[in-house]
Amino acid sequence: MITDTMIFLQLVLTTPWQGDDPTPLCHPVLPRLERILNHLCIIKEHTLLRLITEGFPACWDPQVSIKDLHFDGVPVRIYLPRKPSASKQRGVVFIHGGCGIFGSIRTYERVCRYIARKSDSVVVSVGYRLAPEHKYPTQTLECLTATEHFLKTAETYGVDPARVIVCGDSVGGTFTTSVCQELGQRIDIPKIRAQVLIYPFLQALNFNLPSHQKNAAVAFLTRERTVHFILKYLDKDCSLKEPILAGSHVPENINLKYRKWINPDLIPDVFKMGYKPPLPALFSPQTHKEVPELFEPWVSPLLAEDAVICGLPDTCIVTCEHDVLRDDGLLYKKRLEDNNTRVTWHHVEKGFHCSLGFFGYGIFSFPSSSTIMNHVVDFIKGY
Ligand SMILES: *[C@@H]1O[C@H](CO)[C@@H](O)[C@H](O)[C@H]1NC(C)=O
């Protein structure tokens, strides 16, 4: 997700950071730089982020043939293994992260090629249009459109429609599971075979779970930046950040209703070391009224009804220890298991949010980038 320029900046701004400890990466300069540029109106924050996450172009790939297409109007890039295949192949729809406001097909070029090569699958990377120019839920709708189109036309690309997997990281994981929740209810198109959720964002009700508390200041995605980005994504006033962080946007009846799914008590003890329950938040009807989207399943897939969860395909969830969103993944895992969905779970001890974005960048890659990538490829190869 965060590549070249970011790596360069990190290199310049930080003390030794190779290895797998994200703490030295936690540098206040970049957000501050963004803020200054933003205030000066030189460049918008999301414009800068788009720029630095574009990445270097990758070289020609002898093993994968690459084409840019449109699926019902949605830009996609398709990666076809050149090696001839006797039978129909597996398909993988890849939905990139970047909070819905940055990131692109190009950002994940190396990731998609690797999946195509190593798992011998036809990969479709979805270039959904970004917020805030294209308002929520354009992003989810375009991911749905592209996936549906691929399921219907799979055979054109030599793909078996019964072997299509959807995979995404961060908010791409949110979109992935929304696609699976929606299409799981449909009987007129082939069923998605499996979903892969790499450190997904899954709920906007509680930002005081143990992982939020523990990793509040960890690199790339702090607790504050999480809410800041959600507000940007939904094109809301960023002054809502503080009350949302405190939980003031959630009325008591909603808290009671969803306690069975979003609750620190559901997090295993090993992940709760040092956790202190926060003081109860004072409800602010004003804040609640401003952000109704936070309670919709397309922003908070953890709130989907049981009937929807029961329709989900086999699932692989990757969580990282140094990630504010770790507990979103853990809570979703529990929900899926309670509703008899098969879950393969990989917890990456040294991983952090955005690890995958460094994959394929040689010495700038992290060991956890490869760990995540290989867990994903191994899971995909099982279908
Ligand atoms: C789904 O999980 C909930 C617990 O979250 C449980 O009460 C319910 O019975 C489950 N439904 C099915 C069909 O497994």
Q: What is the DSSP letter of 21?
A: -
pLDDT of residue 44: 78
Nearest CA among 195, 161, 162 for reference residue 178: 195
pLDDT of residue 51: 84
pLDDT of residue 369: 94
Residues at CB less than 6 angstroms from ligand 1? 260, 306, 310, 335, 338-340
Which domain does 349 fall in, by range?
64-203+296-381
Q: Is 28 inside a domain boundary?
A: no
Q: Is 241 inside a domain boundary?
A: no
The CATH code of the domain that includes 354 is 3.40.50.1820
pLDDT in tens, the chain (383 residues): 344 444 444 443 333 333 444 444 444 555 666 666 556 555 678 888 888 888 778 888 999 999 999 999 999 999 999 998 899 999 999 999 999 999 999 999 999 999 999 999 999 999 999 999 999 999 999 999 999 999 999 999 999 999 999 999 999 999 999 999 999 999 999 999 999 999 999 999 999 999 999 999 888 899 999 999 999 999 999 999 999 999 999 999 999 999 999 999 999 999 999 999 998 899 999 999 999 999 999 999 999 999 999 999 999 999 999 999 999 999 999 999 999 999 999 999 999 999 998 898 888 889 999 999 999 999 999 99
Known active-site residue 353: yes
**Closest residue (by CA) to atom 11 of ligand 1?**
339
Please provide the DSSP assignment of 250-299 as one string: S-HHHHHHHTTTS-GGGS-GGG-TT--PPPPPPP-HHHHHH-GGGGSTTT
CB-based contact 165:153 (threshold 8 Å): no
Q: Is 271 inside a domain boundary?
A: no
**Closest residue (by CA) to atom 7 of ligand 1?**
338
Q: Please give the Cα distance from 135 to 114 (Å, whole number).
A: 31
Phi, psi for residue 64 in degrees, rounded to 5? -130, 135
Say how many Å lie between the CA of residue 338 and the centre of ligand 1. 6
- pTM listed for this prediction: 0.90
Residues present in the chain in total? 383
Say how many Å lie between the CA of residue 236 and the centre of ligand 1. 35
Residue from 353, 355, 365, 369 carrying the catalytic annotation: 353
pLDDT of residue 199: 97
**Closest residue (by CA) to atom 9 of ligand 1?**
339
Known active-site residue 368: no
CB-based contact 341:317 (threshold 8 Å): no
Q: For the chain, what is the domain count? A: 1
> Which element (helix H / strand E) includes 71?
strand 64-71
Q: Strand pairing of 74-81 and 343-352?
A: unpaired
Nearest CA among 145, 169, 273, 155 for reference residue 211: 273
CB atoms within 10 A of CB 47: 14
Known active-site residue 125: no
Structure tokens at 133: 């120019």
91: alpha, beta or left? (left if phi > 0; alpha if psi -120 to 50):
beta
Say how many Å lie between the CA of residue 260 and the centre of ligand 1. 11
Residue from 104, 170, 355, 369 carrying the catalytic annotation: 170
Say how many Å lie between the CA of residue 272 and the centre of ligand 1. 25
Q: Is 239 inside a domain boundary?
A: no
Indicate which atom in ligand 1 lies nearest the CA of residue 310: 13
Q: Is 23 inside a domain boundary?
A: no
pLDDT of residue 19: 43
Q: Is 151 inside a domain boundary?
A: yes
Q: Is 195 inside a domain boundary?
A: yes
Q: Is 284 inside a domain boundary?
A: no
Residue from 169, 314, 323, 328 carrying the catalytic annotation: 323
Which residue has 């030794």 as its token pair? 16
CB-based contact 234:136 (threshold 8 Å): yes
